[in-house]
Amino acid sequence: MKRFVWRLQRVLDIKTKKEQKMRAELLELTERLASRAGELLTQQRILDEIIAGLAGEKPKKRLGKQEFFLRYSGTSDEQIKKLKEKISELESQQREKIAELLKVRRFKEGLERLRAEAKIQFIKEQEKLEQKELDETATISFARNMI
């Protein structure tokens, strides 16, 4: 029996590799997003701890520390704002990557279905040819036996 050869196999292979590459990119993007979110939580936790520490201080000691904190808080707020912007940017990139990945995956799954159907059709045709050959062989052997 002949070996099954599908003309679009190369396209399927390319789409499979593209999907794998896009998954790796999405994973890397998700890791960066998680890292930035962790940095944001750390910055916010530091500020909360400083505020809680200042609240527990005596009023005379607190004024000096509070002044230092107010100077520092502007910089800290700016860092938090930048982190939030970066996180929103990374989230939008992540949504775009997911949409692209789903599009490629749907295309690849369609190709896989077509390949499966083509293989089933090929097997049916090969079985028909084999049956026809067996019928011809049986007819010839019957005719020889009759003679």
Alpha carbons 86 and 138: distance in angstroms, whole number:
77
Q: Flag whether pLDDT at 116 surpasses 70.
A: yes
Q: Which domain holds residue 72?
A: 9-107
pTM of the model: 0.73
Residue 63 domain flag? yes
Count the domains in the chain: 1
Whether 28 is covered by a domain: the verdict is: yes
42 falls within a domain: yes
Q: Which residue has the higher pLDDT, 69 or 83?
A: 83
* Per-residue pLDDT tens over the stretch 24-81: 999 999 999 999 999 999 998 988 888 888 777 777 777 777 777 777 788 888 989 9
Query: Is residue 44 situated within a structural domain?
Result: yes
**Domain assignment present for 138:** no
Which of 21-30, 73-82, 106-115, 132-141 has the weakest average pLDDT? 73-82
Residue 2 within any structural domain of the chain = no
* C-beta pairs of 109-115 under 8 Å, 24+ apart in sequence: 111/8, 111/11, 111/12, 111/15, 112/12, 114/8, 115/6, 115/8, 115/9, 115/12
